[in-house]
C-alpha cells in the first residue's frame, strides 16, 4: 500500500531535507510515500538554474536545490506533491512519472471543469480553454531520481498570490504567465479536496496500490531533516 501524508503548511528546507534523507535510507522493503504539503513563500532554483532568471526576488528566500529545472515559486495556497517512489520496483521510468503527474493534474482539473494539457516542449500543465488565459501555466514539475527512487515533484496553483512569479522567469521562460484555479472557478475548492482527487488520479495512472492517508510524525520529520543537514555540513 502507498502511504499518503498530509504535511499541512511547512517551510521548504525542512521538507526537502527530510525527503532527501528518506530517499537515501530506504531499501527494497520501504513503502512508497506521497507527501502533500503547502510551503511558506520561497523561490527554489534547480541544478541547472541560471542566475539570469532571478529578476527581483526581494525578501523571499532563494534556495539552491537538487532537482531538475530552473527557478519556481512556492507559497501558501499552492498544492505541492512529492512522490517518493521506488521507480525500479514499480517498473516506472522517469518519463512515465512526468507523464503521470501531468495526466493526474489534467484529470483533477477536468473534475472541476477546467480544460488543461501538457506541452511537448516544456514540462508542466497549461490551460487550453479559449480566452486570454489560454496557454497560462497552472502546474510546474521538477524531479530528482537517486538510487532508482524519485523525490521532489509537482506544484499546482490553487488559490495563492501569483505576484512573486513576476520576480522570476518561471521555469526559465521569460514572460511565462501563471494562473491558478481560483481565477477560473466561481467557488474555489479546498486544498484538501484538490489533494485527494490529484492523489487518487496519480495512483490510478501509475497503477499503484490503494493509498492510506497518514500524518507524518513530527519527530520523524525533524530527525530526517536534521540528519540530512548534518550530512550536508559534514
Query: Which residue among 36, 149, 171, 200 is the active-site one?
Result: 171
Matching residue, cell 500543465: 125
Which 3 state secondary structure label does DSSP give 25? Answer: helix
Euclidean distance between CA atoms 80 and 35, whole angstroms: 8
Q: Is 149 one of the catalytic residues?
A: no
> Residues 28, 89: contact at Cβ < 8 Å?
yes
Q: Can you tell me the distance from the alpha carbon of 164 to that of 175, in angstroms, rounded to the nearest whole number?
A: 13
Report the first-to-last Cα separation within the chain, whole angstroms. Answer: 35
Cβ atoms < 10 Å from Cβ of 170: 23
- Which residues are tagged catalytic? 171
Amino acid at each position: 500500500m502507498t502511504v499518503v501524508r498530509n504535511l499541512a503548511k511547512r517551510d521548504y528546507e525542512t521538507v526537502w531535507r527530510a525527503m532527501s534523507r528518506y530517499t537515501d535510507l530506504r531499501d527494497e522493503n520501504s513503502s512508497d510515500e506521497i507527501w502533500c504539503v503547502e510551503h511558506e513563500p520561497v523561490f527554489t532554483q534547480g541544478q541547472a538554474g541560471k542566475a539570469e532568471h532571478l529578476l527581483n526576488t526581494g525578501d523571499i528566500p532563494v534556495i539552491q536545490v537538487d532537482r531538475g529545472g530552473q527557478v519556481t515559486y512556492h507559497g501558501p495556497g499552492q498544492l505541492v506533491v512529492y512522490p517518493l517512489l521506488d521507480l525500479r520496483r514499480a517498473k516506472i521510468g522517469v518519463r512515465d512519472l512526468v507523464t503521470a503527474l501531468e495526466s493526474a493534474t489534467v484529470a483533477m482539473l477536468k473534475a472541476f471543469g477546467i480544460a488543461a494539457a501538457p506541452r511537448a516542449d516544456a514540462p508542466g500543465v497549461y490551460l487550453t480553454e479559449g480566452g486570454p488565459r489560454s496557454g497560462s501555466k497552472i502546474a510546474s514539475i521538477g524531479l530528482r531520481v537517486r538510487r532508482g527512487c524519485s523525490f521532489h515533484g509537482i506544484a499546482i496553483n490553487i488559490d495563492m498570490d501569483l505576484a512573486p512569479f513576476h520576480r522570476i522567469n518561471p521555469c526559465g521562460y521569460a514572460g511565462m504567465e501563471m494562473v491558478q484555479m481560483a481565477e477560473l472557478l466561481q467557488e474555489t475548492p479546498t486544498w484538501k479536496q484538490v489533494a485527494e482527487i490529484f492523489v487518487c488520479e496519480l495512483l490510478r495512472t501509475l497503477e499503484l496500490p490503494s493509498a492510506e492517508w497518514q500524518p507524518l510524525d513530527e519527530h520523524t520529520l525533524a530527525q530526517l531533516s536534521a540528519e540530512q543537514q548534518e550530512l550536508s555540513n559534514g
